[in-house]
Amino acid sequence: MEQEAADAEKLRRTRVIVQDNGPIHRCQEVQKLWSKWETQGLYIFFLPKYCSKINPIELEWQHLKKSELAGKMFDDEYHHCLYGN
């Protein structure tokens, strides 16, 4: 984000980054930088807490959970990759 902010400032163009609500995006260390970034022209926009229609990866996870992985059990995290079932 520091580079994004620096680029926005250098180009004198407003830049908006859309993020999900992952803990790394909202941790205290990052929050301290928001006002600095805004003065440089970088703004952070957060998706609603849960909004699967706006966040494309949520649609993929939904498909995987309902279709590909539904009702399957694995011995460990590698079992599915190694044996394909």
Q: Encode pLDDT of 6-60 as tens digits.
A: 999 999 999 999 998 888 899 999 999 999 999 999 999 998 877 666 777 777 8
82 pLDDT exceeds 70?
no
Residue-level pLDDT at 27: 93
Residue 5: pLDDT band (50, 70, 90) is very high
> Between 48 and 3, where is the model more confident?
3
**Residue pair 45/51 in contact by the 8 Å Cβ criterion:** no
Residues of 22-39 as b/e, b for ≥16 C-beta within 10 angstroms? eeeeeeeeeeeeeeebee
CB 72 within 8 A of CB 85: yes
Residue 33 confidence (pLDDT):
97
